[in-house]
């Protein structure tokens, strides 16, 4: 009886590698949408922007990946955020403008898309909101804490040795001076003007039309439509269908949700988002595009 020849380890490795490459190629041609269905047509990519905006890196990566993915014909930003830090909001806004040169972007507002959340939405081609969505809150806030009275009761005092008069502005161990208040107000107004300018550009509204509603007030989705801060009242489904139309997709589009790539630190940050408001409050000085949240 003839003995079967044993395959060498190199042959087995080659076969396994070939199978991986084959199925990888198939997955790029035939992909599944989020419901598990097979899709042969172009898709709409959905990026969720949720919670207080503390960092932009993950959103920038997701936008870039969808921009480069040829199967993604349009992008929907699902925003549920009261805003957050200034620079990350501005970075996301700029990245959306860059992506729009390649693909259409539609913003869909959920429960709240205010301040920095609204700032981001303004970069999209179109904005959808529910009639009861809380949006607007165009403005900038800086909080300066003063715990001098509390510290004095327990016998704690502090003195700053500084190189310049403004080096310890916002020191929570003392009251700010009139000159410091004027200086900080000037900083706030500079950042505020940047907000108004980008809303004006994004919404194609004259700045004179933006200023009257850029006093920090919140608006419902229905009121925002009247003020031309959004384009249409509609759900996320409406926004996805519209994005499909703008992307040239026939019929109802398949949907792909962006996947997060979080390291351990990122997961800790995500799990602690509900506590970030307290982190802001603990600092003596902070500047943000953030809708003021009620205290617990």
| C-alpha to C-alpha distance for 114 and 138, rounded to whole angstroms | 7
Under 8 Å between Cβ of 107 and 239: yes
Other CB atoms within a 10 A radius of the CB of residue 268 amount to 10
Cross-strand partners of 44: 74, 255
Under 8 Å between Cβ of 283 and 167: no
Sign of the Cα torsion 286, 290, 295, 296 reads: negative
Nearest by Cα to 93 from 60, 51, 44: 60
| C-alpha to C-alpha distance for 136 and 74, rounded to whole angstroms | 25
What's the CA angle centered on 215, arms 213 and 220, to 5 degrees? 50
Catalytic center residues: 115, 167
Under 8 Å between Cβ of 184 and 170: yes
Radius of gyration, alpha carbons of the chain: 25
Under 8 Å between Cβ of 49 and 80: yes
Token representation of residue 170: 């916002």
| C-alpha to C-alpha distance for 139 and 135, rounded to whole angstroms | 12
Sign of the Cα torsion 216, 219, 225, 226 reads: negative
């Amino acid at each position: 009886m003839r003995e079967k020849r044993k395959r060498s380890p190199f042959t087995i490795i080659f076969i396994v590698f070939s199978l991986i490459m084959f199925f990888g190629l198939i997955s790029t041609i035939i992909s599944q949408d989020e419901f598990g269905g097979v899709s042969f047509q172009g898709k709409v990519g959905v990026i969720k922007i949720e919670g207080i905006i503390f960092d932009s890196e993950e959103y920038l990566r997701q936008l870039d990946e969808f921009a480069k993915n040829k199967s993604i014909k349009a992008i929907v930003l699902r925003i549920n955020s009261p805003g957050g830090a200034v620079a990350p909001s501005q970075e996301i806004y700029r990245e959306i403008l860059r992506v729009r040169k390649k693909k259409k972007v539609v913003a869909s507002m959920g429960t709240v898309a205010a301040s920095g959340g609204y700032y981001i939405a303004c970069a999209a081609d179109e904005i959808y909101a529910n009639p009861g969505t809380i949006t607007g809150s165009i403005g900038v806030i800086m909080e300066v804490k003063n715990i001098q009275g509390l510290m004095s009761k327990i016998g704690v005092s502090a003195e700053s040795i500084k190189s310049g008069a403004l080096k310890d502005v916002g020191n929570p161990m003392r009251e700010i001076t009139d000159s410091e208040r004027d200086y900080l107000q000037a900083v706030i107004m500079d950042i505020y003007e940047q907000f108004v300018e980008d809303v004006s550009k994004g919404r194609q509204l004259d700045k004179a039309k933006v200023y009257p509603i850029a006093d920090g007030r919140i608006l419902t989705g229905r009121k925002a439509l009247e003020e031309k801060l959004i384009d249409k009242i509609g759900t996320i489904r409406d926004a996805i269908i519209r994005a499909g139309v703008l992307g040239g997709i026939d019929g109802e589009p398949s949907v792909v949700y962006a996947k997060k790539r979080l390291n351990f630190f990122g997961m800790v940050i995500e799990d602690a988002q509900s506590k970030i408001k307290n982190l802001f409050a603990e600092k003596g000085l902070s500047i943000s595009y953030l809708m003021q949240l009620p205290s617990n």
